[in-house]
Amino acid sequence: MERMHESLSIEDLERFEHSHSITIPREYRDFLLEYNGGYPNPSVYKISEKLGESIVNIFYGIGTMYDNLEKKFDLFDEIVEAGFMPIADDPSGNQICIGISNQYFGQVYHWAHGEETEEMENIYFLSNSFCFLQAENTENCSEIYRDLQALF
Report which of residues 120 and 5 the model is more confident about. 5
Decide if 143 contacts 133 (C-beta within 8 A). Answer: no
Predicted confidence (pLDDT) at residue 117 exceeds the cutoff of 80:
no
Q: How confident is the model at residue 137 (pLDDT cuts 50, 70, 90)?
A: very low
Q: How confident is the model at residue 102 (pLDDT cuts 50, 70, 90)?
A: very high
* Upper half-sphere CA count for residue 71 (Cβ side, 13 Å): 9
Strand, coil or helix: 11: helix
Decide if 123 contacts 104 (C-beta within 8 A). Answer: no
DSSP 107-122: -EEEE-GGG--SSSTT
If residue 10 lies in a helix (H) or strand (E), which one and from where to where? helix 10-20
User: What's the predicted TM-score (pTM) here?
Assistant: 0.82
Taking the C-alpha atoms of residue 139 and residue 141, their distance in angstroms, rounded to an integer, is 6
Q: Which three-class secondary structure string do you get for 54-69?
A: EECCEECECCCCCCEH
Taking the C-alpha atoms of residue 7 and residue 76, their distance in angstroms, rounded to an integer, is 24
What are the tens digits of pLDDT across the range 43-55? 888 888 888 999 9
